[in-house]
Structure 1
Amino acid sequence: PCLQSYFQSCISNISIQVVSVPGKLPGRRLPRNPIGKARAPKQSKKRALFWNVQNKIILFTVFLFILAVIAWTLLWLYISKTESKDAFYFVGMFRITNLEFLPEYQQKESREFLSMARTVQQVVNLVYTTSAFSKFYKQSVVADVSSNNKGGLLVHFWIVFVMPHAKGHIICEECVAAILKDSIQTSITNRTSVGSLQGLAVDMDSVVLNGDCWESPFSTDKGCSQYFYADHLTLRYPLEISATSGRLMCHFKLVAVVGYLIRLSIESIQLEADNCITDSLTVYDALLPIGSTILYRICEPTRTLISFVSTNNIMLVTLKSPYVRKLSGIWAYFEAIPEQSKGHWSGFEGKISSPYYPSYYPPKCKCTWKFQTPLSTLGIALKFYNYSITKKSMKGCEHGWWEINEHMYCGSYMDHQTIFRVPSSLVHIQLQCSSRLSDKPLLVEYGSYNISQPCPVGSFRCSSCSCVPQAQRCDGVNDCLDDSDELFCVTTKPACNTSSFRQLGPLVCDGFQDCEDGQDEQNCTWSIPCTNRTFKCGNDICFRKQNAQCDGIVDCADGSDEEGCSCSWTSSSLHRIIGGSDSQEGAWPWQVSLHFVGSAYCGASVISREWLLSAAHCFHGNRLSDPTPWTAHLGMSVQGNAKFVSPVRRIVVHEYYNSQTFDYDIALLQLSVAWPETMKQLIQPICIPPAGQKVHSWEKCWVTGWGRRHETDNKGSPVLQQAEVELIDQTVCVSTYGIITSRMLCAGVMSGNRDACKGDSGGPLSCRRKSDGKWILTGIVSWGHGCGRPNFPGVYTRVSNFVPWIHKYVPSLL
């Protein structure tokens, strides 16, 4: 804008002056009365002709000049407008150590602030006007001067470069930052980390500079950029936003008393979930939107209380929403809290937690704990509720690193409990938090254990070192996180007589006929104590989840086990052809084809009117994780002949998905448009299995998809293919691949030739339940060694292990 106004002022000073002499006009003479003989008419005619030609030439010249001025003006306006669009904004901050903070620095109109801003801007101007980017450098602006818990001043600023795309130049974020840091470095006169620029002692370690190209750091809506000060330590300051229409872009700067931190607690936020493309709430550990200081970003609605802690006494909260009519608002509060001590000595039994628990703990924190057991034969066991630590490799640790008795470990978040044992009576633990983002809170129980006998008498030790009662081994339920209680053991089938059933109790009352005559499912009681493996009726009677809920049979007197159940039943149209062949139209009404940029890419399964279930690896990568290029084709047998097509509105990849091992390979997709009830003959959801469902080895199931029909094919099948496969025993699966987790299962035929292949990923492994004929989504096509190779069955995501996760996003399935 400054450049544009400059050119306009230049153009406005251009004018045209025509000088005329009194009594004379160009090309014309005043008439005189001749004395004596009059001039011949022929000479007068010649003069008139000469005047006309000369006049036309002058007028034409003036016209060309005016045309040139207009063209030049339009050209400069175009260049000015283009360059104004090609502005690059960089935001940064650094700490000045030789000045003390004054309250007047918080007032933008004060003499103190203006003086400091002018000095810093002169320094930055000097740095970049003498650099390689001098011809592109436009200006610098100091946005804030704040106090700092480390002493001195913290200066927030932004820099503007103008670089037209037409010139083919690319500005480099690392280069711009390096110029500033090099200027500070060269001014250092001693061996400290402080450099002097025009009398400003700048801490080298505090310099942060990030690019935020194409958008001004504070393009806020009117009245939506505010300062809040936490002056009292015992008060909670509300932060509420609500609007009804239009676009919303808000910035809220939070400042606490020097020496204290800010804790922001969000009680509820309503956003249009879209993977942070348009709607988001971002928390920064600064007063400008500096990308490297992001503490956390929220991109979906939440009603669960979450809180975040700054590393200093400042915080910035930005809220972006282009369609405020979809935004109900945000309800939050912030407060000033003291810094916590970084370590302490513990006994041998109790609990420890991450800093500022239950808040998300801030980046770059460091904690130290020391444990001492009363006897040298006792070690320390750590029980993590949602976390696991493993030996550190050559790569960095994404979620912090641990040093335990001089051994290094990496932390990662899990969806279950883990136990880590340290065989020493004296244990020293240090946690170094992640250097990038805030992380989820950690709660750890610790206690002593017998080093020589980790598990008590009568219990079984899992491969992961956790202990389960011996009676729970080989019962078909994964009590060990790694399935080791169900591997390499022999399951004793009950003898088909009445006495054996009475002895085994609920183990045989599971909805499956272990005896040919069905005796094991007769005269068995379901009124067993409620546990995490049972379903509770409204009248407080408990049933096993395996067949008590959504099975088409009213087990509860009040019918609560069948409420809200809408998954697909068997129908006469579900005709199957054994052996891998073309399917009939309507045979698999839950099968979905996912198209990326118009081409078939992966499969999915319908689980409700607006939700699909697929594999996480289909959406791994920046482009694939964007829902915009994806469309879902439902009710289709032949590619291009879908009965219903909807854009994908949202993609939810499991937060623990591992792209190296394909663990947690599951994703949810939300449709932009729900399929109509009138299409239920061709589109039906498939049933989600009960949590922890026991599957039977060698049970017959079906895999479907439009993927390749042979491993050497170059393209997928135009017609939906179906193949009958068998569920492979987990022990065989582990012995084949080795890296099978409890969240995976194998299916196929050991002789080969029946399997899923490339293009089938994310599609269903459908198993028909014997008790009621319902189809259950037992697995999701995930990975495998080749396609249809002998002794290498396909590996599928075990859906029953993700039922709580699915219900978190699709509560209507409960």
Structure 2
Amino acid sequence: MDKENSDVSAAPADLKISNISVQVVSAQKKLPGRRPPLLGRQLPLPGRQPPQRPIVKAKPKKQSKKKVPFWNVQNKIILFTVFLFILVVTAWTLLWLYISKTESKDAFYFAGMFRITNIEFLPEYQQKESREFLSMARTVQQVINLVYTTSAFSKFYEQSVVADVSSNNKGGLLVHFWIVFVMPRAKGHIFCEDCVAAILKDSIQTSIINRTSVGSLQGLAVDMDSVVLNAGLRSDYSSTIGSDKGCSQYFYAEHLSLHYPLEISATSGRLMCHFKLVAIVGYLIRLSIKSIQIEADNCVTDSLTIYDSLLPIQSSILYRICEPTRILMSFVSTNNLMLVTFKAPHIRRLSGIRAYFEVIPEQKCENTVLVKEITDFEGKISSPYYPSYYPPKCKCTWKFQTSLSTLGIALKFYNYSITKKSMKGCEHGWWEINEHMYCGSYMDHQTIFRVPSPLVHIQLQCSSRLSDKPLLVEYGSYNISQPCPVGSFRCSSGLCVPQAQRCDGVNDCFDESDELFCGSPAPTCSISSFREQYKASPFACEPVKSKASGADKNSCQTRIPCNNRTFKCGNDICFRKQNAKCDGTVDCPDGSDEEGCTCSRSSSTLHRIIGGTDTLEGGWPWQVSLHFVGSAYCGASVISREWLLSAAHCFHGNRLSDPTPWTAHLGMNVQGNAKFVSPVRRIVVHEYYNSQTFDYDIALLQLSIAWPETLKQLIQPICIPPAGQRVRSGEKCWVTGWGRRHEADNKGSLVLQQAEVELIDQTLCVSTYGIITSRMLCAGVMSGKRDACKGDSGGPLSCRRKSDGKWILTGIVSWGHGCGRPNFPGVYTRVSNFVPWIHKYVPSLL
């Protein structure tokens, strides 16, 4: 609990690059296993004496000492042993030298671009076979060759290849190129993107006098601010330089009124498509995607990516889609070019895209508005190119003025909110309103921001990285001395709703603030009257609140109209109870509100010890331990055979958001003793998650392998609460996990721990922390003796429903001030607020 791509193969393709492919020599074949044959001839070993001459008697002479021959058996054995030793040592030395010189090597690819400012674009540059393109490509390649052959990477540099020369809205030429290095795999870590890019940027000589970003790069006038260089993939390199064309197309569009289609599909094999889109100078490209059929994955394999360039440069990504969609989405470039890549390398069912692009003029996002003397919303402003996703680095300016000094400006944001800027950066745009700085974040409801001034100057700076969701804002005036009209209630989001709608059981404020802290429930119909009509629950009729009709509080209407505030049964009967699904009470006459509701009814907690103790085997069958690179990191809850629910902050960051290093351990009581382990196939973090406030701290995880039914005694899903379910302060619940037992601990517990906590009143929770939203709830004990801690994040807050004994996932361990501190309870994600979002990805729970 927070209290506190690789596609580079071992050898490059034969793409006119000399000496890249290096043969790998197996050392195993060179190791001496048998004695090598001796060089030269073998001498016969002495075994017999030569034949003697006949003995002739003579006078006895003085006996002389017999001379021993040098090439006797003993000396030859010694010489042979010495020779063999020298031969073995020489062979090992030569083998070691050979292996060290022929170690495995890899090719490293970098995609980049820069703008040449003093050369006019020619139409012939679009033709790769033209003399003009080849001449310009040769010039640029020679310049890059000179830069890197005189750098620290000179011995690894192989070559550069110019892929495209295009026009651009800033004038001059925009050159897209690849740089290839070849080096031993073991040294590949030295090729950081910043290092390679720095060599190129440092080679541009700029003048301090004229204070311009344009400098000289070996004679070329290059805009230093335009230089971009990122690591790339071999497959992208092969496709974009034309050596492996496959599914690659180039489109040049010059007509403003036309839709240029982009459609492709396949049922088997693979799709690796690159679409290069170029418009006439001075215009932009809008890509509209009608539908995408793709395997919902982790963005590493199956994806559609939109680039603000003609090469797949990571820093120029506008947007990436990694799941199927049939909702129309459109994106706008910042220049007159765009690259669309579609990758589905392992097609198991129909995959493809249906889209089109068009040429559009640039828009100026600025306006001066005179607001009328009407205390209501009278007009709208929006992000650039609405309803398209707005491009990165855009800027908007609005000036508002009211007719009276007593009136201020009210801004109603749709699914968006702005809060005071902290030390951290703004992920979804930053706002300057009358010289005060604010950060924007996405919500699932409306919010109102009021500026108590008759003259308001607003500036929006878009995100500098990716395209973002379109923004729509209504504006109007309001009485500064009275933000909400008489007889209305002001929601925490800034909205004003009629006072009569307060505590009526309907979420009129979107953030539930009109339904919090209600002293007594809204009146309901009498049970006897209802049972005579439907034989079910008292919610199937609507209370009559007015006595003018001749009825009293306990009388009922037999049927109410169906709308978004009612629940519709299978027999088309509607009643005012939005959270009827799977709440343990049969409300519909046909029982359709409780059909298909399967989750754990385990009652083993009756035998548990209260207050931070070891658990029993199988006691919490929905508890999951998530391991990152082999180590326990967070918790999660089983909600179906292949889906888990956890906290978004566990996966915040590039490394943590990749499912590859994650594994889920189910049916486990002691760490390392899981009954079932599965890799994580997919991580879905809520799109509105705010890493600064921990709002919308929820994430779904899809397992690569569904857990088997044979383990249902040890693994069971926990029930998802009904949408909008209310909880009562003081209700007893349980928090479980393998996290730290104390705030000062350095590591978590080996045995699953459990602690009984109680739900804290929301007003008390807000007064304690001050930043509690309606998507959060507090639980613990005010004495601070029982709480979750670091390592428990993402784990369940389990509450048992009295009506049917089922366990409900009421909360997810999110954050808090320290661990177990007095007067600082734990803060949990309120799961009931995310039921529609969960059903979007896990419809089987419906």
1:334 lines up with 2:357 in the alignment: yes
C-alpha deviation, 1:530, in angstroms? 4.5
1:422 lines up with 2:451 in the alignment: yes
Alignment deviations for residues 56-84 of structure 1 (CA, whole Å, 9 cap, x no partner): xxxx9xxx9xx99xx89x9889857845x
- The structure-2 alpha-carbon separation of the partners of 1:78 and 1:788, relative to structure 1 and needing over 3 Å to count, comes to closer
| Structure-1 residue corresponding to 2:130 | 110
| Structure-2 residue corresponding to 1:154 | 174
1:412 lines up with 2:441 in the alignment: yes
Q: Is the 8 A contact 1:574 1:586 kept in 2?
A: no
1:695 lines up with 2:727 in the alignment: yes
1:747 lines up with 2:770 in the alignment: no
Within 2, Cα distance between the matches of 1:206 and 1:100?
A: 17
Within 2, Cα distance between the matches of 1:548 and 1:530?
A: 14
| Structure-1 residue corresponding to 2:832 | 800
- The structure-2 alpha-carbon separation of the partners of 1:560 and 1:483, relative to structure 1 and needing over 3 Å to count, comes to closer
- The structure-2 alpha-carbon separation of the partners of 1:236 and 1:207, relative to structure 1 and needing over 3 Å to count, comes to same
Within 2, Cα distance between the matches of 1:173 and 1:363?
A: 22
Q: Is the 8 A contact 1:368 1:431 kept in 2?
A: yes
| Structure-2 residue corresponding to 1:665 | 697
Partner secondary structure for residue 566 of structure 1:
coil
C-alpha deviation, 1:146, in angstroms? 1.0
1:645 lines up with 2:677 in the alignment: yes
Within 2, Cα distance between the matches of 1:526 and 1:713?
A: 61
Give the TM-score taking structure 2 as reference length.
0.78
| Structure-2 residue corresponding to 1:541 | 573
| Structure-2 residue corresponding to 1:28 | none
**Identity rate of aligned residues, in percent?**
83
| Structure-1 residue corresponding to 2:385 | 356
Partner secondary structure for residue 348 of structure 2:
helix
| Structure-2 residue corresponding to 1:266 | 289
Matched residue type, 1:362: P
- The structure-2 alpha-carbon separation of the partners of 1:700 and 1:532, relative to structure 1 and needing over 3 Å to count, comes to farther
Using the TM superposition, name which of 635-644 and 286-295 deviates more. 635-644
Q: Is the 8 A contact 2:441 2:690 kept in 1?
A: no
Matches within 5 A, 1:205-216: 205-212=225-232
C-alpha deviation, 1:202, in angstroms? 2.8
Using the TM superposition, name which of 655-664 and 349-358 deviates more. 655-664
| Structure-2 residue corresponding to 1:378 | 407
Partner secondary structure for residue 122 of structure 1:
helix
Q: Is the 8 A contact 1:388 1:413 kept in 2?
A: yes
Within 1, Cα distance between the matches of 2:396 and 2:440?
A: 14
| Structure-2 residue corresponding to 1:254 | 277
C-alpha deviation, 1:456, in angstroms? 0.5
Matched residue type, 1:446: Y
1:456 lines up with 2:476 in the alignment: no
- Residue of structure 2 aligned with 1:491, choices 519, 544, 561: 519
- The structure-2 alpha-carbon separation of the partners of 1:624 and 1:125, relative to structure 1 and needing over 3 Å to count, comes to closer
- The structure-2 alpha-carbon separation of the partners of 1:78 and 1:233, relative to structure 1 and needing over 3 Å to count, comes to farther
Alignment deviations for residues 682-703 of structure 1 (CA, whole Å, 9 cap, x no partner): 4332221222211111122222
Q: Is the 8 A contact 2:600 2:717 kept in 1?
A: no
Within 2, Cα distance between the matches of 1:168 and 1:775?
A: 52
1:322 lines up with 2:356 in the alignment: no
Q: Is the 8 A contact 1:383 1:446 kept in 2?
A: yes
| Structure-2 residue corresponding to 1:729 | 761
Q: Is the 8 A contact 2:238 2:245 kept in 1?
A: no
Using the TM superposition, name which of 179-188 and 145-154 deviates more. 179-188
Matched residue type, 1:315: M
Within 2, Cα distance between the matches of 1:317 and 1:527?
A: 53
Q: Is the 8 A contact 2:579 2:723 kept in 1?
A: no
Matched residue type, 2:823: N
Within 2, Cα distance between the matches of 1:495 and 1:486?
A: 14
Within 2, Cα distance between the matches of 1:635 and 1:157?
A: 52
- The structure-2 alpha-carbon separation of the partners of 1:218 and 1:418, relative to structure 1 and needing over 3 Å to count, comes to farther
Matched residue type, 1:270: Q
Within 2, Cα distance between the matches of 1:483 and 1:171?
A: 52
Partner secondary structure for residue 635 of structure 2:
strand
Partner secondary structure for residue 250 of structure 2:
strand
Q: Which is bigger in relative contact order (C-alpha 8 A, separation at least 6)?
A: 2
Q: Is the 8 A contact 2:678 2:705 kept in 1?
A: yes
Within 2, Cα distance between the matches of 1:182 and 1:764?
A: 53
- Which structure 2 segments of 5+ residues have no match? 1-13, 24-82, 372-377, 531-536, 541-552
| Structure-2 residue corresponding to 1:308 | 331
Alignment deviations for residues 456-507 of structure 1 (CA, whole Å, 9 cap, x no partner): 11112245433232234456776557766567x66146899979x99xxxxx
| Structure-2 residue corresponding to 1:18 | none
Within 2, Cα distance between the matches of 1:651 and 1:226?
A: 32
- The structure-2 alpha-carbon separation of the partners of 1:168 and 1:110, relative to structure 1 and needing over 3 Å to count, comes to closer
Matched residue type, 2:496: C
Q: Is the 8 A contact 1:193 1:204 kept in 2?
A: yes
Within 1, Cα distance between the matches of 2:180 and 2:459?
A: 43
Partner secondary structure for residue 375 of structure 1:
coil
C-alpha deviation, 1:628, in angstroms? 2.6
| Structure-1 residue corresponding to 2:398 | 369
C-alpha deviation, 1:175, in angstroms? 4.2
Matched residue type, 1:195: G
Matched residue type, 1:577: R
Matched residue type, 2:487: G
1:627 lines up with 2:659 in the alignment: yes
- Residue of structure 2 aligned with 1:439, choices 464, 468, 480: 468
- The structure-2 alpha-carbon separation of the partners of 1:557 and 1:460, relative to structure 1 and needing over 3 Å to count, comes to same
RMSD: 3.8
Using the TM superposition, name which of 270-279 and 163-172 deviates more. 163-172
Matches within 5 A, 1:120-135: 120-135=140-155
- The structure-2 alpha-carbon separation of the partners of 1:106 and 1:799, relative to structure 1 and needing over 3 Å to count, comes to same
- The structure-2 alpha-carbon separation of the partners of 1:405 and 1:770, relative to structure 1 and needing over 3 Å to count, comes to same
C-alpha deviation, 1:222, in angstroms? 4.3
C-alpha deviation, 1:308, in angstroms? 0.9
Within 2, Cα distance between the matches of 1:405 and 1:496?
A: 49
Using the TM superposition, name which of 521-530 and 265-274 deviates more. 521-530
Within 2, Cα distance between the matches of 1:616 and 1:6?
A: 44
Alignment deviations for residues 385-404 of structure 1 (CA, whole Å, 9 cap, x no partner): 12122233444332222232
Alignment deviations for residues 193-251 of structure 1 (CA, whole Å, 9 cap, x no partner): 43345664333332323333777633575422221222432222222232344444322
- The structure-2 alpha-carbon separation of the partners of 1:75 and 1:240, relative to structure 1 and needing over 3 Å to count, comes to farther
C-alpha deviation, 1:189, in angstroms? 8.8
Partner secondary structure for residue 132 of structure 2:
helix
Partner secondary structure for residue 781 of structure 1:
strand
Within 2, Cα distance between the matches of 1:382 and 1:5?
A: 60
Within 2, Cα distance between the matches of 1:345 and 1:595?
A: 54
Q: Is the 8 A contact 2:295 2:351 kept in 1?
A: no
Using the TM superposition, name which of 653-662 and 249-258 deviates more. 653-662
- The structure-2 alpha-carbon separation of the partners of 1:365 and 1:510, relative to structure 1 and needing over 3 Å to count, comes to same
- Residue of structure 2 aligned with 1:705, choices 730, 737, 750: 737
Q: Is the 8 A contact 1:526 1:543 kept in 2?
A: no
C-alpha deviation, 1:536, in angstroms? 2.2
Alignment deviations for residues 420-473 of structure 1 (CA, whole Å, 9 cap, x no partner): 112233333222222221111111111222222110111122454332322344
| Structure-1 residue corresponding to 2:313 | 290
Q: Is the 8 A contact 1:392 1:409 kept in 2?
A: yes
Matched residue type, 2:180: V
Q: Is the 8 A contact 1:537 1:558 kept in 2?
A: yes
| Structure-2 residue corresponding to 1:278 | 301
Using the TM superposition, name which of 426-435 and 205-214 deviates more. 205-214
- Which structure 1 segments of 5+ residues have no match? 9-59, 503-507, 512-520
Using the TM superposition, name which of 624-633 and 223-232 deviates more. 624-633
1:204 lines up with 2:236 in the alignment: no
- The structure-2 alpha-carbon separation of the partners of 1:509 and 1:496, relative to structure 1 and needing over 3 Å to count, comes to closer
- The structure-2 alpha-carbon separation of the partners of 1:728 and 1:243, relative to structure 1 and needing over 3 Å to count, comes to same
C-alpha deviation, 1:790, in angstroms? 3.8
Matched residue type, 1:305: L
| Structure-2 residue corresponding to 1:140 | 160
C-alpha deviation, 1:557, in angstroms? 4.1
Partner secondary structure for residue 233 of structure 1:
coil
C-alpha deviation, 1:679, in angstroms? 4.2
1:236 lines up with 2:259 in the alignment: yes
